[in-house]
Amino acid sequence: MTKKLTTSTGSPVADNQHSQTAGQRGPVLLEDFHLIEKLAHFNRERIPERVVHAKGAGAHGYFEVTNDVLKWTRASFLSEVGKQTPLFVRFSTVGGEKGSADTERDPRGFSVKFYTEDGNYDIVGNNTPVFFIRDPLKFPDFIHTQKRNPATNCKDPNAMWDFWSLSPESLHQVTILFSNRGTPKTYRHMHGFSSHTFQWNNHAGEAVWVKYHFKTEQGIENFRRVDAVKMAGDDPDYATRDLFDSIQQGQHPVWKLYVQIMPLQDANTYRFDPFDVTKVWSQKDYPLIEVGRMVLNRNPENYFAEVEQATFSPANIVPGIGFSPDKMLQGRLFAYADAHRYRVGTNHDALPINRPIAPVHNHQRDGSMRFDGNGGASPNYEPNSYDGIKETPSVATAPYEVTGQTGSHKYPSDDHYTQAGDLYRLLSETEQTDLIDNIVTAMQSVALDIKIRQVNHFILADESFGARVAKGLQIQVNQ
């Protein structure tokens, strides 16, 4: 069936091959509004790319509960074994631009949007259980070191290692990043973590602390450095293509979701601050408890509409789930929706990919690109005597106690070394050798004083770790 080519206002277009001109040889007429609209719309095709995590791939799927967790959370989408909830996932790299290579050494973003009957619940995590820093005040500085040098517009290893060596809380994540887990083979072959602690609360109003772990059923597969570098040239979109092709071929990737659960009172006595996002909770202390499985089974039809315009925020929670005092998390609760208003627009939540399946009733109105009915003639204020929209006090998150004085408090513990060292010692000999080789290669161009400062951190994590990096860099270190 043929269809008429039209302008965006629906009028038939007479000619889409030849601009209207004065005479055979031009010039072009200003009255050729079809040409002008086409060029003008094209100029506006780009929205700002995400300031971080700009390169990504997404897929639709569902979550299915496989274990009863009702005693800890009243989240409706987790309420019974067998219950399924539709979801959308976006995987990403962090530091590169929208056109950067998928196999760059970087953490991978792991964002999940559950479309629950109580509203959207977003877990906006990474493929690593920890992060480089633990105070949101440091985030813009950290990211500047991962982006381009202001003068050269090139990536700047000196800035990266300068920042890391002066921020030793990064050591655990740096050790993960320079292991082969820093170059996952595909998005299907990696785990996902909330990294932060969240609260779960049940129907009785009792709360626990939780951390989420998505475990890949495809198995962990990583590139070694040389293969990742080669692939960045051969096929910069390797992981994006892999996800799309796998789903198209009916190989639907699956992750099992587990939680670690910490009783509320343990947070006061645990051997370190459990809300410190640079540290993992020991699985001996808090074993993994199965929750369900996530299956990705449908590709987006349109990348821009579904992946580029998707807006994930850690602030999007549902009844049964709450926040923790984790300072980084608290900073993120502001940052994401603010980024969305700038990047996509005030009414980004109403776009099809972000719109909840739960009905939305509130009194927010207007704003740029208000493309739904804008609440029609219904009241735009609350309380009112007309629309019957009421609050639900029972969904309030469980309170947690806070004490102390206001101030710019440091974290009480400066042990940046034990967990990084434990991780190093856990690696096989080959994995350790790859880690050292990856670090030594990445640090070649770095200033000597920065090399020395960083090697001293590796030594404090594990003497042989530091000594091997020092040897690779051909430097002497006197602690």
Which residues are catalytic, by number? 53, 126
Which residue's CB is nearer to ligand HEM, number 122 or number 434?
Answer: 122
Residue in this structure with the two tokens 């740029």, named with its chain if needed: 368
β-strands 207-216, 254-263 pairing: antiparallel
- What is the pairing mode between strands 289-298 and 108-116? unpaired
Query: Contacting ligand HEM (CB under 6 A), which of 295, 328, 440, 461?
Result: 328
Asked whether 295 and 246 are in contact (CB, 8 A), the reply is no
Binding-site member from 124, 296, 317, 446 for ligand HEM (CB under 6 A): 124
Bridge partners (DSSP) listed for residue 222: 184
Nearer to ligand HEM, 47 or 166 (CB): 47
Burial (CB count <10 Å: 0-12, 13-18, 19+), residue 311: buried
* Comparison of 129 and 292: residue with beta carbon closer to ligand HEM: 129
* Three-class SS state of 136: helix
Whole-angstrom CA distances from 360 to 299, 349, 375, 441 are 26, 10, 10, 52
- Is 121 or 336 the residue whose CB approaches ligand HEM more closely? 336
Q: How far is the CB of 311 from ligand HEM (least distance, A)?
A: 5
Site for ligand HEM in 336-365 (CB under 6 A): 336, 339-340, 343
Note whether 60 binds ligand HEM by CB under 6 A: no
Q: Given the rule CB under 6 A, which of 76-84, 180-188, 246-254, 329-337 is the region that contacts ligand HEM?
A: 329-337
Beta bridge partners of 120: 115
Nearer to ligand HEM (CB atom), residue 118 or residue 276: 276
Strand pairing class (84-93; 289-298): unpaired
Counting residues that bind ligand HEM (by CB under 6 A) gives 28
Q: Whose CA is closest to 191, among 177, 199, 176, 181?
A: 181
357: Cβ contacts below 8 Å, ≥ 6 apart: 86, 115, 116, 117
Closest CA relative to residue 210, chosen from 333, 64, 348, 71: 71
d(CA 52, CA 38): 31
Of residues 382-441, those binding ligand HEM (CB under 6 A) = none
| Residue nearest ligand HEM (C-beta atom) | 109
Shortest Cβ 85–ligand HEM spacing (Å)? 19
Token readout for 324 is 């923790």
Give whichever of 50 and 279 is closer to ligand HEM, judged by the CB atom.
Answer: 50
Q: Shortest approach of ligand HEM to residue 449 CB, angstroms?
A: 28
Of 34, 53, 451, 457, which one interacts with ligand HEM (CB under 6 A)? 53
Smallest distance from ligand HEM to CB 36, Å: 31
Among 73, 116, 173, 195, binds ligand HEM (CB under 6 A): 195
Least separation in angstroms between CB 444 and ligand HEM = 28
Q: Does the protein bind ligand HEM through residue 111 (CB under 6 A)?
A: yes
Output 13 or 334, the one with its CB closest to ligand HEM: 334
Which residue has 């980084």 as its token pair?
328
Q: Which of residues 259-298 bind ligand HEM (CB under 6 A)?
A: 277
Q: What is the smallest separation between the CB atom of 96 and ligand HEM, expressed in angstroms?
A: 13
Per-residue x/- track, 137-156, ligand HEM (CB under 6 A)? --x-----------------
Residue 148 DSSP code: B
Residue 417, CA distances (Å) to 4, 288, 379, 461, 470 in order: 67, 24, 57, 4, 17
Q: What would the two tokens of residue 185 be? A: 């083979």
Query: Should residue 199 be labelled a site residue for ligand HEM when binding is judged by CB under 6 A?
Result: no
Rounded distance, CA 479 to CA 476, Å? 10
In the list 88, 115, 121, 131, the residue contacting ligand HEM (rule: CB under 6 A) is 131
Nearest to 297 by CA among 459, 58, 45: 58
Binding residue for ligand HEM, selected from 335, 398, 427, 477, defined by CB under 6 A: 335
Which of 52, 101, 440, 443 touches ligand HEM (CB under 6 A)? 52
Near ligand HEM in 31-50, by CB under 6 A: 50
Closest approach, Cβ 145 to ligand HEM, in A, equals 14
In DSSP notation, 258-278 reads EEEEEETTHHHHSSS-TT-TT
> Cβ of residue 348: shortest distance to ligand HEM, in angstroms?
9
Amino acid at 135: D
Q: Rounded distance, CA 288 to CA 173, Å?
A: 21
CB count within 10 Å of CB 292 equals: 22
The closest alpha carbon to 89, from 118, 130, 55, 123, belongs to: 123
Asked if residue 258 belongs to a known ligand binding site, the reply is no
Query: Contacts with ligand HEM in 307-326 (CB under 6 A)?
Result: 310-312
Which is closer to ligand HEM, CB of 310 or CB of 440?
310
Binding residues: 336
Interface residues with ligand HEM (CB under 6 A)?
A: 50-53, 56, 90, 92, 109, 111, 124-126, 131, 136, 139, 195, 277, 310-312, 328, 331-332, 335-336, 339-340, 343
Binding residues for heme: 336
